A and B are shown apart, each in its own frame.
Chain A
Amino acid sequence: MACEWGKRSILTLRRIARGQATLEFAFAAPLFLLGLFAAVDSALWSVQTNAEVAAVQSAARVAASAGSTPLGRAAPDVRTVTAGVEAHLGQALFATRLVAWCDPTPGAPCVPPVSNAGVCSGPACRFLACPSTPQDVQAVFGPRVVAVCVHEQDAQPCASGADAASASDPYCTDSPTITVRAVGFLASLVPPGFGAGEVGGELPTSVSATTHTLRFAP
């Protein structure tokens, strides 16, 4: 009888120990996975962001010297600039699509024509300026897309035909400024509901590089 009781209590103890181990595992496993995913995800994010920084820097240099003529003041074509950086940036962006910030309608020009009065109408007018937030890119191209955008800002011409800067007009002889931005959402292991992206599985990114364009004196 005593032997029977002893056996039973050993079995009960083993069952309790097994239950405790399961409970500990149930606590520790999600934590371990959380830590692991956070580490892997931050490493992926870092690799992708570093690639973006290098790409926009190189794109800014390409865009700064990509005028059709040395004296030209035409803005560089965003599709050309994007194609220039796509080869190496595309490899570093895991499961993320890289696009030019252009009207995606087939056959449409990158940016819509603007009238002489500077008036633009229609939804494609959003492509005249760089997207201000990653959500703007997501609204057009969907999730896990990074858009490359090139923005050229020209200096105001000098007042009344003067060809030199003056105290009242110190910037009129400046060469245009080029800004290249990579903005959108990068694919990541962030689960939905963690607030980083619109639909989960993504992290916002916005990297830019600015420089003056290279212009030769006429």
Chain B
Amino acid sequence: MRRRARSGDSAQAVLETALLIPIMLLLACNFIALMVQASVQEQLDSATALAAQSRFQAPTNSLDAAGAECCPDPRCCQSRSDATSLRTGGLPVGCRYAAESFYGTMRNAAFLEWHKGPLCLSGGDSGAGSEPARAAQPYPNSPLGSEVSCVVASRGGDGTLHHGFLDRTLNPPFGLEVVVCDASARLDFSRTPLAWGVFWAPMLHAHAEALPPPFRQ
């Protein structure tokens, strides 16, 4: 009787430990994953903000010469261009500057699965009252495989005016034209050592707006 009771106790202890170890490690793993997510989100926000602001380091109505690429791409500089390169000939220089700032800042992001879109867009309206919201449209020759998308105003080579994004929360109800950059990516923990204990893959999104500096015409 006594021996059976003792072996029952040991079995219970082993079971408790067997339950405790994975639960503890799982908890620690997921907490680390949350911290990683917070850090990557911060980095994505920073890169997107720098991309939006860097548009104003470029001349306002200047267009890239034919043959220009982001830096040249991949991604963004320090290596030869390839078929996936972002070719920016004919697009506002500000679009390329935005891409170069974004990629230069997001260099260490091997575990992000990017949601790609057009690099350079124009127009768009945040909408307010009777004015409906409108999405920005890509420039006709914008590369489509970019990890950051920016709405940049410019005057095209043929004199066509491409508007920036009209944010009606600024200076209502008329709004102000701003530069807007967006980037989205899924944080894929399966590419990290946390893969065995983290079973979620959060979608990260960064949005940044930049206003032209007041001294700039």
> A13's contact among B2, B32, B89, by CB below 8 Å, is which?
B2
How many residue pairs between the two chains, A and B, have CB atoms under 8 Å in the bound complex?
123
The distance from the CB of B186 to the nearest CB of chain A, in whole angstroms, is 19
Interface string of B8-49 (1 = CB under 8 A from A): 011001001100110011011001100110110011001101
B50 touching A209, Cβ below 8 Å: yes
Complex: chain A residue closest to B21, CB-CB? A31
CA A177 – CA B99 in complex, angstroms? Answer: 12
Total interface residues in chain B, CB < 8 Å: 47
The distance from the CB of A163 to the nearest CB of chain B, in whole angstroms, is 13
Which residues of A lie under 8 Å from residue B10 when comparing CB positions? 20
From B58-66, B128-136, B143-151, the one touching the partner chain is B58-66
A46 touching B39, Cβ below 8 Å: yes
Query: Is residue B100 contacting chain A, with contact meaning CB distance below 8 A?
Result: yes
Which residues of B lie under 8 Å from residue A69 when comparing CB positions? none
B9 touching A20, Cβ below 8 Å: yes
> B105's contact among A45, A210, A214, by CB below 8 Å, is which?
A210
Query: Is residue B6 contacting chain A, with contact meaning CB distance below 8 A?
Result: yes
Query: Is residue A9 contacting chain B, with contact meaning CB distance below 8 A?
Result: yes
B57 touching A175, Cβ below 8 Å: yes
From A82-90, A93-101, A107-115, A166-174, the one touching the partner chain is A166-174
Query: Is residue B122 contacting chain A, with contact meaning CB distance below 8 A?
Result: no
Which residues of A lie under 8 Å from residue B67 when comparing CB positions? 167-168, 170
A50 touching B38, Cβ below 8 Å: yes
A212 touching B101, Cβ below 8 Å: yes
User: Which of B25, B43, B67 lies at the interface centre, i.e. has the most chain A CB atoms within 10 A of its CB?
Assistant: B43
**A residues bordering B, Cβ < 8 Å?**
9, 13, 16-17, 20, 23-24, 27-28, 31-32, 34-35, 38-39, 42-43, 45-46, 49-50, 53-54, 56-57, 60-61, 64, 165-171, 173-175, 177, 179, 206-215, 217
Can you list 14 A-B contacts (CB < 8 A)? A9-B2, A20-B13, A31-B25, A46-B35, A49-B42, A50-B39, A53-B39, A57-B50, A165-B64, A170-B67, A175-B57, A207-B43, A209-B105, A211-B104
